[in-house]
Amino acid sequence: MTSRESYTQQGNKGFEAALEQRSAAREAAFFLPHIRPAMRLLDLGCGPGTITLGFGTHVAPGEVVGVDFQPSVIERARTLAAQRGIPNAGFEVADIYHLPFPDASFDAAFAHAVVMHLREPVRALTEVRRVLRSGGLIGLRDPDLAGGIRFPSTPLSQVYAELRTRVWEHNGVNTHVGRKHRRLLVDAGFTRTATGASVESAGSLETCQHSALFLKAQLDGIARTAIVEGWIDQATVDAIAQDIDGGRSSRTPSQPPSCARRSPGSTPSELRRSRRARRAPTAAFCIQTERLYTNQTARFAKEASLERVCIQNEW
C-alpha cells in the first residue's frame, strides 16, 4: 500500500464476514469462461478468499494464489482453504503495488472490488501486468455507483448514501471506476480489452436480507472515518443501523421505519400485509438494491506489435 492510501474497511470484522458470502460462480461469472485447467491464477485483494477458492477447482491441476495486504484476511482465507479442502489455493500477504512474484509468473489475474480502492490504479495494474506472462489475461470487476438504485428511500438511508460517498472519496475510492476500466487497462499497457456490465439486484426476502446485512457491515468502516472527521455522531450511526434493520426498536414517530413508510392503505389485505411487515423478525426485506458492475477482461502482450487495442463498448 502506498502511504497515501487508506482502505475504508480495514480491520472491520463484520465486513470481512459479509465478504465470505461471495463466490467465483457469482462474482467472477464473466471471467470463468476464460479460465482453463493448469493455469496459474493470481487473485488480487482477495479478502477472506471465497472467490479465490472457487477458482481453485477451475484451474486444477494448476494453482490459484490469493494476495491481500491485510494479514488477518489472509489467515482467514488459509483456514477456509483447509476447511473446504482446496489444496491448490495458496494465500500470501502482499501489496498490489509491490507483488512478491517474478516477471511473467502467472497466466491470469483477477481483482474483484479492489481497483476502486486504489489511488493509483494504473501503477497497480502495471505491476500486475509485470507478473503476467505474454498473452496473459486479467479480469476486473468494480461497481459504478451511478448505476445504484435503492428503494425505499428514507431520510436516514439518504444520509448513509451521502456519507458513504463522502468517506469513500476522502479515502481515495473512485466511486465511478467501473466506467474507466478500459482506459486504466490500456494506460497500464493491456490490449484487446472488452467491457461488459452486470447488475446485482435484491428482489427476494433472502437477497434483500443479504443486501441489508452487507450495508450494515459496511457502516462500521464508514462511521469510523466519518466520526473522526466530525461529519456524524454515534447516535446518528446507531439510527442508520436501526433504519437498515427496518427500524424495529426505539424509533421516534418522526422517523418511521423504512418498511412502514408507505401508508398502510385501507383495504383489509393491505392492513394485514402492513401488520405482518411490522411483526417480521427483520424488516430488511423491504430494502432493494441494485448495483451496476462493469466486468473487464484484457490480454497483455509483451510484443506489442502482435496485439492491437480493440475498442469495444466505449462508455
Ligand X SMILES: C[S@@+](CC[C@H](N)C(=O)[O-])C[C@H]1O[C@@H](n2cnc3c(N)ncnc32)[C@H](O)[C@@H]1O
Q: Decide if residue 41 touches ligand X (CB under 6 A).
A: no
Helices (H) then strands (E): counts for the chain: 10, 8
Backbone dihedral angles phi then psi of residue 126, each to the nearest 5 degrees:
-65, -40
Q: Decide if residue 139 touches ligand X (CB under 6 A).
A: no
Q: Decide if residue 128 touches ligand X (CB under 6 A).
A: no
**Of the two residues 49 and 246, which places its CB atom closer to ligand X in the complex?**
49
* Binding test (CB under 6 A) with ligand X, winner from 60, 69, 104, 277: 69
Q: Decide if residue 129 touches ligand X (CB under 6 A).
A: no
Q: What one-letter code names the amino acid at 23?
A: S
Q: Decide if residue 45 touches ligand X (CB under 6 A).
A: yes
Are 184 and 299 in contact, with CB atoms under 8 Å apart? Answer: no
Q: Decide if residue 117 touches ligand X (CB under 6 A).
A: yes
Give the strand pairing for 40-44 and 63-68.
parallel
Three-state secondary structure readout of 248-285: CCCCCCCCCCHHHCCCCCCCHHHHHHHHHHHHCCCCHH
Cell triple for 44: 488480487
Q: Decide if residue 77 touches ligand X (CB under 6 A).
A: no
Q: Decide if residue 95 touches ligand X (CB under 6 A).
A: yes
* Dihedral (CA of 292, 43, 58, 296) sign: positive
Report in angstroms how near the CB of residue 203 gets to ligand X at its nearest.
22
**Of the two residues 55 and 190, which places its CB atom closer to ligand X in the complex?**
55
Candidate segments 89-97, 172-180, 187-195, 299-307, binder of ligand X by CB under 6 A: 89-97
Cα–Cα distance for residue pair 226/159, rounded to 1 Å: 12
Q: Locate the DSSP E strands across 144-271.
A: 149-151, 191-201
Query: H or E element: which one contains 159?
Result: helix 155-170
Q: Decide if residue 258 touches ligand X (CB under 6 A).
A: no
Report in angstroms how near the CB of residue 71 gets to ligand X at its nearest.
10
Q: By rule CB under 6 A, what string of x and - marks binding of each residue 172-201 to ligand X?
A: ------------------------------
Residue 149 CB-half CA count within 13 A: 9
Q: Decide if residue 14 touches ligand X (CB under 6 A).
A: no
For residue 228, which of 6, 56, 76 has the smallest C-alpha distance? 6
Q: Decide if residue 167 touches ligand X (CB under 6 A).
A: no
DSSP state of 294: E
**Of the two residues 77 and 301, which places its CB atom closer to ligand X in the complex?**
77
Q: Decide if residue 140 touches ligand X (CB under 6 A).
A: no
Q: Decide if residue 64 touches ligand X (CB under 6 A).
A: no
Q: Decide if residue 22 touches ligand X (CB under 6 A).
A: yes
Report in angstroms how near the CB of residue 49 gets to ligand X at its nearest.
8
**Of the two residues 181 and 301, which places its CB atom closer to ligand X in the complex?**
181
Are 309 and 186 in contact, with CB atoms under 8 Å apart? Answer: yes
Integer-rounded Cα Rg, in Å, for the chain is 21
Q: Decide if residue 51 touches ligand X (CB under 6 A).
A: yes
* Binding test (CB under 6 A) with ligand X, winner from 35, 58, 70, 193: 70
Cα–Cα distance for residue pair 292/275, rounded to 1 Å: 33
Q: Decide if residue 293 touches ligand X (CB under 6 A).
A: no
Residues that bind ligand X (CB under 6 A): 1, 7, 19, 22, 27, 45-47, 51, 68-70, 73, 95-97, 112-114, 117
